[in-house]
Amino acid sequence: ETGVTQTPRHLVMGMTNKKSLKCEQHLGHNAMYWYKQSAKKPLELMFVYSLEERVENNSVPSRFSPECPNSSHLFLHLHTLQPEDSALYLCASSQNRGEFYEQYFGPGTRLTVT
């Protein structure tokens, strides 16, 4: 256990559905991240939150909408997704946002868009 939990672990949704992914960290960290891991592709950083403020958005389509209500929780709201959005979505946290802070990852949510 890394201290970062994600729910649900698996999610199947149609292209017209709206769903949300949840991440919770129990480490007292100040920075949280969303990554997308697709087969045969490097991990893609999607969003970065530092002290509950979004500090990075890596050209992610608007059908993905993050929310960070407090330093322990991070959500990824999904709507009108495409089949190519099927992937493993990983949440991570670090003590602070900085070059030398390691990140701790949750187990991921396996998303399938039908």
Q: How far apart are the first and last CA of the chain?
A: 31
Distance CA 106, CA 4 (A): 5
What whole-number distance in Å separates Cα of residue 25 and Cα of residue 106? 8
Of the candidate spans 13-21, 62-70, 73-81, 98-106, the one that interacts with another protein by CB under 8 A turns out to be: 98-106
Does residue 69 interact with another protein by CB under 8 A? no
Binding of another protein at residue 95 (CB under 8 A)?
A: no
Site membership for another protein, residue 98 (CB under 8 A): yes
Range 5-64, binding another protein (CB under 8 A): 6, 33, 42-43, 45, 48, 56
Burial-class residue 25 by CB neighbours within 10 Å (0-12, 13-18, 19+): buried
List residues binding another protein (CB under 8 A): 2, 4, 6, 33, 42-43, 45, 48, 56, 90, 92, 97-100, 102-108
